[in-house]
Chains A and B, each alone.
Chain A
Amino acid sequence: MYSDILLGFERALSMDALLFCFIGVTVGTFVGVLPGVGALAAVSLCLPLTYYLDPTIAMIMLAGIFYGAQYGSSTASILLNVPGTVTAAVTALDGYPMAQQGRAGLALFVTTICSFVGGTIAIVLMMGFTPVIASAALSFSSAEYFLIMALGLALASTISTGSQFKSLAMVALGLTLGLVGTDLNSGVSRFTFGRIELYDGISLVPIAMGLFGVAEILNSIGGSGSRTPQTGKISFRSMMPTRAEWRTIVKPTLRGTAIGTVIGALPGSGATVATFMAYAVEKRQSKTPERFGKGAIEGIAAPEAANNSAVQAAFIPTLSLGIPGDALMAFLLGAMMIHGIVPGPRFLTDQPEMFWGLVGSFWVGNVLLLVLNIPLIGVWIKMLSIPYNILFPAMLFFICIGVYSIDYQVFDIALVVGFGLIGLVMNHLGYPPAPLLLGFILGPMMEEHFKRALLMSRGSFSIFWERPISVVLLLLLLALVLMSLRTALMALLPTSKPKKDGK
């Protein structure tokens, strides 16, 4: 294994890997800094460009965008009180008050350092756990895979806030979209309506770009005007914490990391849950909880450590089992498949260079991000003054050319527009887009495993509860379904009376 690790780091330190890692984290920081441009939109914009790259390099770059965005997102939430990502909303709670008190430099420094510490600890854990989990999973049969994926889907869709019915319906809609195309086993084409473009199925990029790119643009136009960042003077000296401040952030950072790593590694609960939880725990821990929300330094340290460690830990289930924890991980998994790599426990043994190369690049990327975010913070602050009405035409352009360059099909651009409009309606009516993407990506794999399991058992469904692992998985799945049904019913039944609009 050590030779594999060395091999991977050698790959990560090669010239092209360094270059694309740098591009990835820079793009990530950029989209993280800018409110209104999401990491998923950015990753799906870049995916078509990676078709020309070596798969390892492609993954290094795409992953860099993902964790780079987490670093960048704190900037806008501290300076503008406009979070670049959902997780950064927590950072804004105490970060923006700090900026108002003239401590913006300190806040930016602390978030970067805590991000770095959280991220790197999670990478170490990832290096330890991923191979162990993957080798344990090697004995899984198709029945267990099917159950794990179903469990991942159920977790991802039921943990979200809002209507359980709506988010489960989005899983089903995603599964439906995944059905389109030629069935691999029988050669029958399903839901293609005679269009040749659909025989190979709908591709991932138009769906992701529509739901997360175009819909976002449609949502944001006319929203935020230009704001002036709450900077004050940001000199290197103003960024450095005092010794007392260093001492206050050590424990919150470690607690945040612990929460982030555990929550991030569980499928279905990503950085968002971890970040909110870390903030809540810190507030409860504190002897002076009244300072929270008014510029408490612990209030930015713990959540930042948590979101970055969650983001890195999310790679554990994705790379060891092939089970993505959230939409972004699902997208990266889809990107791997486009590059011809089969995700799952065999990934690590079949592609050790790629796995360890990716891990190596995380180290490189985190160090690069440290440099990008501390000495170069001034550049990013300038970026904040780019008006949205220059940004969104540029996004439109990159979306159009990106999707067109996949197959040179005008049809794909039409799909993006269609999914953009669908995404807009979903946003407004509270249908979450992430479960749709998960269902779309996992659906075809689940069908494959389901069929294979039943083929092995000669049509007997008992294969799903024959082995202890599958029994446990099945029970977990049942418990989850019952729990979410219970919440849905609790909300509906008379105990909690629906508010009446006075007629």
Chain B
Amino acid sequence: MTDHESDTSPTRPAGLWEYGVATTLLLLGLYVAYSGQQIGVGTPRRMGPGFLPMAVGVSLAALSLGIFWELSRLGGRSAMDVPLRPLVLIPLSMAVFAATVGPLGLIPATVLLVLIGAFADATMTAKRAALTAVALSVIGYLLFIRGFGLPLSAF
């Protein structure tokens, strides 16, 4: 069980990200509530499909107001310090896998995934990335195509 309890003790004034996320939640809540109302809330006796969206949307919007209040009172994270490199390369590698696993087959998709994704870590060497790609291709072929018999082509 790995809960993510990164240190978020709010000491500094909250930054753009904090307010941005709270605003997103507020808008999402309002949108969900509005759609619920459109779909049809119904009556207590015969509840419509829009009842729960309405209730959930209103709660989400109300809670995001609570978050706003808390942020303005207690502060929050002033900025997000996330290294850019993994943020770009990890999603990119997964997107490439998604795009190639069908047309090209499992092994080319795996090789591309590893060769792009592994370099998300700046200390990665070409040799290590290549070896990892080969090893995972073999494991993937044996485990998923031979072992579990997934209907995927190797190439």
Contact = CB atoms under 8 A, between A and B. Distances in A.
Determine the interface band of chain A, counting residues with CB < 8 A from chain B: 35 or more
B113 A396 contact: yes
Interface in B17-64: 17-18, 21, 25, 28-29, 32, 35, 39-40, 43-50, 52-53, 56-57, 59-60, 63-64
Interface string B87-108: 1001101110111011000100
Contacts of B29: 172
B12 interface: yes
Contacts of B97: 400, 413
Nearest to B102: A410
A217 B18 contact: no
B39 A190 contact: yes
A413 B95 CA distance: 8
Contacts of B1: 38-40, 69-70, 85-87, 270-272, 326-328
B39 A430 contact: no
B45 A417 contact: no
B73 interface: yes
B102 A447 contact: no
Nearest to A410: B98
B2 A166 contact: no
Interface stretch (A335-343, A348-356, A418-426, A465-473): A418-426
A6 B75 CA distance: 58
Contacts of B154: none
Contact of A405 (B32, B70, B144): B144
Contact of B73 (A84, A87, A498): A498
Contacts of B25: 169, 173
A389 B70 CA distance: 39
Contacts of A37: 2
A405 B102 CA distance: 11
A327 B53 CA distance: 23
A304 interface: no
B105 to A, nearest CB: 12
Contact of B4 (A175, A421, A427): A427
Interface string B62-86: 0110110110011111001011011
A401 B8 contact: no
A420 B98 contact: no
A438 to B, nearest CB: 12
A235 B14 CA distance: 53
A186 B36 CA distance: 13
Contacts of B121: 221-222, 388-389, 392
A429 B17 contact: yes
A190 B33 CA distance: 12
Contacts of B53: 176, 179, 190-191
Interface in A1-42: 37-41
Nearest to A172: B60
Interface in A168-218: 168-169, 172-173, 175-176, 179, 183, 185-186, 188, 190-191, 212, 214-218
Contact of B21 (A70, A161, A186, A429): A429
A141 interface: no
A255 B101 CA distance: 53
Contacts of A219: 4, 6
A172 B47 contact: no
Contact of A393 (B35, B67, B117): B117
B3 A432 contact: yes
10 contacts: A169-B60, A183-B49, A272-B3, A389-B121, A393-B118, A393-B136, A397-B110, A421-B87, A425-B21, A492-B69
Given A165-B69, A218-B82, A397-B140, 17 more contacts: A165-B63, A166-B70, A176-B56, A214-B90, A221-B121, A327-B3, A396-B90, A424-B87, A425-B17, A425-B21, A427-B6, A428-B80, A429-B21, A433-B3, A455-B46, A488-B70, A498-B75
